[in-house]
Amino acid sequence: MILRRLVPVVALVLLASAGSTGAQPLDPRSQDALGQTLQIMLDPNARAAELAKNNPQGATVDQQVRALTGSDALTQEFYAVAGQVLTELTQNSGGDAQKMLQAVERAKADPAGFAAMLSPATQQRLRELAVKLSDQKR
């Protein structure tokens, strides 16, 4: 199923983007880092500029995302959903990078379990994106 492929790619995006379960308040530094990361993820120009800074890991992930999505519109939607997942992951971990990495590692082994930790709205966006990606591949 495409959702099983989608969650690990989202996890890769989160790992590449993260410079730094029940929502926890973020300290100002974590909030700022999240905001900066989301800016790069959600703004195609900012993302291109960041990738141009000799960021091979990020460029590889971006190429994987583009290969999966097949269009600029779906690429942008993918990054928007990844941003929503990153926001929840950051809030759920209280900005603790180690907890975030552990959650991403668990997601690789159990994508459905990882998805179940997300809010219903985010789960719905993941399902909708998975359907669009599946339809696009036909």
pLDDT in tens, the chain (138 residues): 444 455 555 655 554 544 434 456 788 888 888 899 899 899 999 999 988 887 788 888 899 999 989 999 999 999 999 999 999 999 888 888 889 889 888 888 898 888 888 999 999 999 999 899 888 766
Q: How many Å apart are CA 86 and CA 90, to the nearest integer?
A: 6
Cβ–Cβ < 8 Å for 101, 114: no
Q: Is residue 20 part of a domain?
A: no
Q: Is residue 116 part of a domain?
A: yes
Q: What is the pLDDT of residue 13?
A: 58
Q: Is residue 22 part of a domain?
A: no
Q: Is residue 55 part of a domain?
A: yes
Six-digit token pair at 57? Answer: 């890991």
Q: Which amino acid is at 9?
A: V
Q: What is the pLDDT of residue 77?
A: 95
Domain region containing 121: 2-14+28-137
Torsion of CA 43, 66, 117, 101, to 10 degrees: -80
Q: Is residue 110 part of a domain?
A: yes
Q: Is residue 53 part of a domain?
A: yes
Q: Is residue 23 part of a domain?
A: no
Q: How many Å apart are CA 114 and CA 74, to the nearest integer?
A: 22
Burial group, residue 114, by CB count within 10 angstroms (0-12, 13-18, 19+): buried
Q: How many independent structural domains does the chain possess?
A: 1
pTM of the shown model: 0.79
Of 74, 68, 100, residue with least CA distance to 87: 100
